Amino acid sequence: MSKDKPGGIMETVRTVVYAMLIAGLVRTAAFEPFNIPSGSMIPSLLIGDYLFVSKYAYGYSRHSMPFSIGPSGGRIMEAMPERGDVIVFKKPPENKVDYIKRVVGLPGDRIQVKGGILHINGTPVERRRIEDFVDRGDRDGNIFRAHQYVEILPGGRQHRIIETHGDNGPADNTSEYRVPAGHYFMMGDNRDNSADSRFLSDVGYVPAENLVGRAEVLFFSGDGTAALWEVWRWPWAIRYSRLFQGIE
């Protein structure tokens, strides 16, 4: 028995190492989990959502690696995002914090917001009013309500947006932006509560190198009414209708 123990321990160590290497490879090259800590993408994504991001969707850059380890210099196997994709990216200019927004402007586009209406290359984007967005906002049961619209981007892709201050929010009337080559213009679906490309000194245009991946599917969602230690409340805190939903 004493002769078998070292071999058994080494076999366990090898198994753990192999498992970690495989998990690291999957996380780097295929899918990485992210959670949503803020409300900037309401109603598409809610605080407490957990999702998988495809790392291969746009090719790979140093930001595809854990801790952004690697040399700068663009992407390999690069593919261009489509307008309307929901993307995780490293927020410029510090390139350290993960942000998630929707790409509305491609390289060369002219982007402007007038009276709450998104304009792309001089043409207003169609926006259709629907029922208000209503959600229980916190552990105290306070209700959050906002005007909700379906926005139809050029090419026909549709998604929902909300306007918490109507069409008079802090970035509902902007100057015209011209998206530089190799960059993208990002906006949150919660149009009055999103730090995004409209704020050039904060986020601005996002370089292609900063793209981490495309948000693909929600695999879990909790409404925040149960703390981690409140096991007995977990069944009522899960948003079951959002589990395993694709992201539009």
Active site residue 64: no
Active site residue 241: no
Among residues 40, 44, 61, 221, the one annotated as catalytic is 40
Among residues 101, 194, 197, 221, the one annotated as catalytic is 101
Residues 6+ apart with CB under 8 A from 14: none
- Dihedral sign (CA 196, 201, 202, 208): positive
Read off the tokens for 242: 């959002």
Please choose, from the candidates 181, 178, 241, 177, the residue with its C-alpha nearest in 3D space to the C-alpha of residue 207: 181
- Which one-letter DSSP state was computed for residue 60? B
Cβ-in-10-Å burial (0-12, 13-18, 19+) of 157 comes to: middle
Q: Give catalytic residues, as residue numbers.
A: 40, 101
